[in-house]
Chains A and B, each alone.
Chain A
Amino acid sequence: MVLGIDASSSSLSNKNLSVLVVDDDPLIRMLHDNYLKHFGLKPHVVENGKEAVKLFQLGIYFNLILMDNEMPIMNGVEATKVLRDMGSTSMIVGVTSRGSPSEMQTFMEAGLDFCFEKPLTFDMIDFILKELNMNDDDDDDTNN
């Protein structure tokens, strides 16, 4: 059953969050792009891990990266490892079509904060955004 997540109340606090969607499937890119817009975000969208790494190298920071695993050129596991090695502190959430525990574990070990199986639901996005906003609050506290 749909819980009727009310995205509007949180969309004000979400406006300052930058999000990157990394997926080779144009259908999924369009879906996730629209889902995130529904929560008041303006995602950037790229089609493989290498493009995500390039953005990091250009100094562009994202609070949240939604990373597909199975992509050509550079997949999610590789891209996550490279980003962490390069010092990325973004929250990286893996979104995978393969639900096997070992694959999800490999993906997590690459440096993910969370890993979900497709399809992404509003509940999952709500959870991720709550975690993100909590992390931001923690950072504010330690700076005081």
Chain B
Amino acid sequence: MDRNRLQHQVACMRRSLFDQGYLDEPFIQLEELQDDANPNFVQEIVTLFYTDSARLIQNIEHALNSRPIDFDKLDDYMHQFKGSSSSIGAKKVTNECTVFREYCSAENAEGCIRSFQQVKQEYAILRRKLEVYLQMVRQAAVSRTA
């Protein structure tokens, strides 16, 4: 596929990620930092986000499975998760983290477990979409103009 078509597809997908609320303002800042001197910056940050998230998700799972539940610890982990997801502009994930933290401060175990499923789901969806999007960006970058 030629470069123009690919670039057009990239632009469309990018717009829909923002329009549908998966991504927010901070992601634009990441994109602004990507240039010839820093050509893979977005991918590097996103990869770091995946690593961070995997660790925090595991910690939260463990904390939710402990009896009694340590709500302070849970809140600590989730606030870290919220911090990094909001910093890259992962809007839906961040919103679900906020819901979780509300259940956490109310010490509502069932609410926490339910909302954590939502957090994981939004994270999985975003990750899939980002992987597709960034792969398209890479393809467009190396493709030839027809």
Contact = CB atoms under 8 A, between A and B. Distances in A.
Interface string A105-144: 0000000000000111110000000000000000000000
Contacts, number: 55
B137 to A, nearest CB: 18
Contact of A97 (B28, B32, B52, B79): B79
Given A30-B48, A119-B26, 20 more contacts: A2-B28, A25-B80, A25-B84, A26-B48, A26-B52, A27-B48, A27-B52, A27-B87, A27-B88, A31-B87, A34-B38, A34-B41, A38-B32, A70-B79, A97-B79, A97-B82, A118-B87, A119-B87, A121-B25, A121-B26
7 contacts: A2-B28, A25-B83, A30-B44, A30-B45, A118-B83, A119-B89, A121-B25
Contacts of B109: none
Which of A27, A34, A98, A120 has its CB near the most chain B CB atoms (within 10 A)? A27
A70 B30 CA distance: 23
Interface residues of B, number: 24
A-B pairs with lowest CB-CB distance, top 10: A97-B83, A119-B87, A27-B48, A119-B26, A27-B84, A27-B52, A34-B33, A97-B79, A2-B28, A119-B86
A28 B79 contact: no
Contacts of B49: 27
Interface in B44-68: 44-45, 48-49, 52
Interface of B: 25-26, 28-30, 32-33, 38, 41, 44-45, 48-49, 52, 76, 79-80, 82-84, 86-89
A35 interface: yes
B21 to A, nearest CB: 16
